[in-house]
Amino acid sequence: MDIIKELEEAKKMDASFENILGSMCTMPHKIAIKAYEMFIETNLGDYELFKGTKWIEDKAIKWVAKFMHAPPSYAGLLTSGGTESNITALWIFKKLGKKREVLVPKQAHFSFMKASSILDLKLNVVDSKYFMKGKDVRKKISGKTACVVAIAGNTPFGYIDEIEEIAEICNDENVFLHVDAAFGGFIAPFVSKKIFDFRAKISSLCIDAHKMGMACIPCGFLLLRNKEWIEEIKVKSRCTHTKFQAGLLGTRPGASAASAYAVMNYLGYKGYEKIAKECMENTEYLAILLDKNGIDYFDYELNLIAIRSNKAVDVAKKLADMKWFVGIDEENKIIRIVLMPHVRKDIIDKFVTDLRKVI
Amino acid sequence: MDIIKELEEAKKMDASFENILGSMCTMPHKIAIKAYEMFIETNLGDYELFKGTKWIEDKAIKWVAKFMHAPPSYAGLLTSGGTESNITALWIFKKLGKKREVLVPKQAHFSFMKASSILDLKLNVVDSKYFMKGKDVRKKISGKTACVVAIAGNTPFGYIDEIEEIAEICNDENVFLHVDAAFGGFIAPFVSKKIFDFRAKISSLCIDAHKMGMACIPCGFLLLRNKEWIEEIKVKSRCTHTKFQAGLLGTRPGASAASAYAVMNYLGYKGYEKIAKECMENTEYLAILLDKNGIDYFDYELNLIAIRSNKAVDVAKKLADMKWFVGIDEENKIIRIVLMPHVRKDIIDKFVTDLRKVI
């Protein structure tokens, strides 16, 4: 079939994961792919038809809720990923609080800019250095604040905001706190002592299975402390067999739920822990190599190393010419290496050899 | 592996497509599944890494644009489906027009209720009988109108609004017109003479590949008449290799693009035409059987038959007990049969035999 050949040709133009060092996505686990394929035709936008798939989705949500220490009152949504989760959380809190200002750390993901544009929310950017502290929030929070956003594993540095302290402040001030753990959610519990989940007084949390959760794209989760909040965004459907829908999207792949649940079940907490520790080992391995070569970098907290460079764009371009794809952050003058499960020690060796030539 | 057994058990609880008569989704084409599997790890949220996948996405968008007669100035987005497309269109038109009222026909999909809630838009519902006419719009359109929504293949009846005429009115009044062809887009061109695409003076159009396009979920397209409009929703990314993103979501499956393009390429216009005609043949076949059995239904325009029933919920429940899943519309007192490609004549025979017993 000609089309298969054409697709194969196209595929050759894609970067290989062997060379992708700056992405928070990775090769899905083989069991995730198998499960995705089994459920490829299912539609959770009309789950009355796909009761088995819905059952699997519920199990996946329950797994994540337990993992994130959600209280019994929680509600969970399976989403297409962090952007949808973040927009949905802010949508709910805007409806609940009738206020329009959101405090976000300087390091917040650009999905909050989308949320601001769509929801007509004003982003009040906290000038947090590297990560957001309780005192930063205390200074800015006010009667106008609809919601505070904190991050577990921020994009530039992989740092975790002072979430326990921020949660106390938000709780005192009666302001919602949304935690963006899209990246950190599936690694921080295993390698950091910081509490960023529902054990702190947070209102909601997003966590992506298609990042460190090793499920297939598209798959994230949004957890809410109080299931009643979901009523704010429920819409009646008169065309699907399912009478109400809560969530941004309509038709959505049941395969995502199967894929995420399959990995959760197959790996379990222990399996994820093993992967997380391996990633941190590789992060340390990279750090040692950088030290040896006199290459400067920021302290790391999760499996992400921000290498200092005044010529980040230039260095990244030269690396790209050698087929290495790293994250670039001009503002912070860094190139970012995310030590995802596909970034093994032999890859790190080769990369540092090339990096030395151009930095 | 235990998890595979568990997934297999779950799958048994799902309805089989042999029994799904009220959904606008269908079993994806085998080439769509093959292509999806080939690209399962790709992320179009960061397409600088996946240039081959992006190339395929561009081809798919181009195919759809040509199919819908988009002018050279067009822009296209691959989306997760109609809901995302509809929300995005209204997001853009709100930004462009700075107005907050949207005219929608009574038959509009519930995604417009979501859009209204998210975007703070006021839906001004046109009390259109069965489908929306030019005169309905002329009565309601005003200086406050940000956008008019018209449908090609509405949910209750599968009818096409008077889009050419409505487009003239919108053009005269300088109001954007968004066409929701999520369902009708891949069938109406082959079985109806009505013009609903860019040959009429419409502003934007959504069309779902995961409905009659036979691609895997999630896959829809949003086409805009003017590529400059996309600037309204562009957001700068500092974490991905791709510098700007325009679109609601972040990380998104490249597999969707591959899946849709594979079917387009494999079937081509002629192949889609054949499927469309077969669906219409089956629709006619059902109509004749209903006639023979004295069962009353609305005239059909596309591959959807709305069967009249004062006890729609009751009848649908009895049918569900016999494992037939039909659409229910209490308000219009109908049960809806969508003659998707998986609904063959032998299925129709069995269904009507059972329907006679309960209607």
**Mean pLDDT score, B34-54:** 97
Q: What is the pLDDT of residue B91?
A: 98
- Tell me if A118 and B155 make a contact (CB, 8 A cut-off): no
What is the pLDDT, as a whole number, of residue A344? Answer: 98
pLDDT tens per residue, range A312-321: 999 999 999 9
Domains of chain B and CATH, by start? 2-27+269-358 (3.90.1150.10), 30-265 (3.40.640.10)
Identify the closest residue of chain B to A8 by CA–CA distance: B38
In chain B, which residue's Cα lies nearest the Cα of A116? Answer: B119
Q: Report the distance separating Cα B45 and Cα B245, nearest Å.
A: 8
User: Amino acid identity, residue A71?
Assistant: P
Confidence (pLDDT) at B242: 73
Given this model, what pLDDT does residue B80 score? 98
- Average per-residue pLDDT for chain B: 96
Q: What is the mean pLDDT of residues A304-308?
A: 98
Find the DSSP H helices in A209-253.
none
What is the C-alpha to C-alpha distance for residues B19 and B185, in angstroms, rounded to an integer? 24
Chain A neighbors of B43, CB-CB under 8 A? 23, 25, 217
Beta carbons of A117 and B110 less than 8 Å apart: no
pLDDT recorded at residue A239: 67
pLDDT tens, A150-176?
999 999 999 999 999 999 999 999 999
How many angstroms separate the CA atoms of B277 and A357, rounded? 62
* pLDDT-above-90 percentage for chain A: 96
Query: What whole-number distance in Å separates Cα of residue B208 and Cα of residue A70?
Result: 36
What pLDDT, on a 0 to 100 scale, did the predictor assign at position B57? 98
Tens digits of residue pLDDT in B237-280: 876 677 788 999 999 999 999 999 999 999 999 999 999 999 99
Could A15 and B51 be called an inter-chain contact, meaning their C-beta atoms sit closer than 8 Å? yes
Side-chain half-sphere exposure of B55, counting CA atoms within 13 A: 13
The ipTM assigned to this model is: 0.96
Instruction: Identify the band that residue A44 occupies on the pLDDT scale cut at 50, 70 and 90.
Output: very high
B185 Cβ neighbours under 8 A, 6+ residues apart: B68, B152, B153, B205, B206, B207, B208, B211, B212, B213
| CB proximity list for A30: less than 8 A, separation 6 or greater | none
| Per-residue confidence (pLDDT) for residue A191, from 0 to 100 | 98
Confidence of residue A245 (pLDDT cuts 50, 70, 90): confident
Q: Which of B10, B249, B262 sits opposite A81 (nearest CB)?
A: B249
Strand partners, A154: none
CA–CA distance, B340 with B24 (Å, rounded to integer): 7
Count of A-B CB contacts under 8 Å = 285
Which of helix, strand or coil describes residue A245?
strand
pLDDT for residue B1 is more than 70: no
Across residues A233-260, what is the average pLDDT? Answer: 89
d(CA A104, nearest CA chain B) in Å: 16
Question: Do A199 and A179 contact (CB within 8 A), yes or no?
Answer: no
Cβ contact B23–A33 (<8 Å): no
DSSP A338: E
The answer to whether residue A1 scores a pLDDT higher than 70 is no
User: Across the interface, which of A120, A235, A330 has its CB nearest the CB of B114?
Assistant: A235
Residues B37 and B43: their CA atoms lie apart, in Å, by 13
- Contacts B252 to A, Cβ<8 Å: 80-81, 217-218
- Say if residue B294's pLDDT is above 70: yes
E strand or H helix that includes residue A52: helix A51-67
Q: Three-state SS string across chain B, please?
A: CHHHHHHHHHHHHECCHHHECCCCCCCCCHHHHHHHHHCCCCEHHHCCCEHHHHHHHHHHHHHHHHHCCCCCCCEEEEECCHHHHHHHHHHHHHHHHCCCEEEEECCCCCHHHHHHHHHCCEEEEECCCCCCCHHHHHHHCCCCEEEEEEEECCCCCCCECCHHHHHHHHHHHCCEEEEECCCHHHCHHHHCCCCCCCCCCCCEEEEECCCCCCCCCCCEEEEECCHHHHHHHEEECCCCCCCEEECCCCCCEHHHHHHHHHHHHHHHHHHHHHHHHHHHHHHHHHHHHHHHCCCCECCCCCCEEEEECCCHHHHHHHHHHCCCECEEECCCCEEEEECCCCCCHHHHHHHHHHHHHHC
Pairing assessment for the beta strands B234-236 and A304-308 based on DSSP bridges: unpaired
pLDDT of res. B243: 76
Which residue from B266, B279, B211 is spatially nearest to B32, judged by alpha carbons?
B266
Contact A10 B55 (CB under 8 A): yes
Per-residue model confidence (pLDDT) at position A242: 73
Give the pLDDT confidence score for residue B237 in this predicted structure.
Answer: 81
- Residue A6: pLDDT above 70? yes
Of A136-145, A243-252, A267-276, B348-357, which range is least confident?
A243-252
Q: Which residue has the tokens 């990560």?
A: A131
pLDDT of residue B244: 84
Residue contact A20–B49, C-beta within 8 A: yes
pLDDT band at B339 (very low <50, low <70, confident <90, very high): very high
A76 strand-pairing partners: A223
Please give the residue that has the higher pLDDT: either A1 or A325.
Answer: A325
- Tens-place pLDDT, residues B172-195: 999 999 999 999 999 999 999 999
Residue A240 has a pLDDT of 67
pLDDT number for residue B141: 98
The answer to whether the CB atoms of A3 and B31 lie below 8 A apart is: yes
Residues A7, B51: C-beta atoms closer than 8 Å: no
B328's tokens:
């229910």
User: What is the predicted pLDDT for the residue at B240?
Assistant: 66
* C-alpha span between A289 and A356 (Å, rounded): 10
Give pLDDT, residue A46: 93
Please check whether residue A331 is in contact with residue A189, taking contact to mean a CB–CB distance below 8 angstroms: no
